[in-house]
Amino acid sequence: MNSKSLDDFIAVGKVDDIPDGTSCLVKAGGKNIALFNVSGKFFAINNICPHEGGPLVKGKLKGFVVGCPWHDLKFDVRSGFGTDGGGYCVASYDVRIKGDEVLVSSRCRDY
């Protein structure tokens, strides 16, 4: 896995703006990214479901799993891997907290 410098991270919002159990749409590196707060920990994945393009940020979040609002295809927000066994996955991005700011990497994770 490649290490990322702070230069790769973009401030996308304040910690208090994203309450526990919610999500919001942010932009980093020109990409639409769904940012999730699960029990005070932040996770970021590509916002577009690979099945038919549904907005994952509008999906129902249950624990670490978000369901696409269009067809309920499910993804683990920690990794972007699909949980339905169909081989679907979305890019995931590292998230860091600096003070009260949420920063998201502009480069997706390497697995």
pLDDT at position 100 = 96
For the chain, the domain total comes to: 1
C-alpha pair distances (Å), 2 with each of 25, 48, 61, 108, 109: 25, 24, 29, 10, 8
Within a domain: 54: yes
- Gap between the Cα atoms of 41 and 79, Å rounded: 13
Q: Hey, what are 100's tokens?
A: 């009260």
Q: What is the CATH number of the domain that holds 71?
A: 2.102.10.10
Q: pLDDT tens for residues 39-82?
A: 999 999 999 999 999 999 999 999 999 999 999 999 999 999 99
Structural domain including 24 reads 6-108
Q: Does the predicted model carry a pTM greater than 0.85?
A: yes
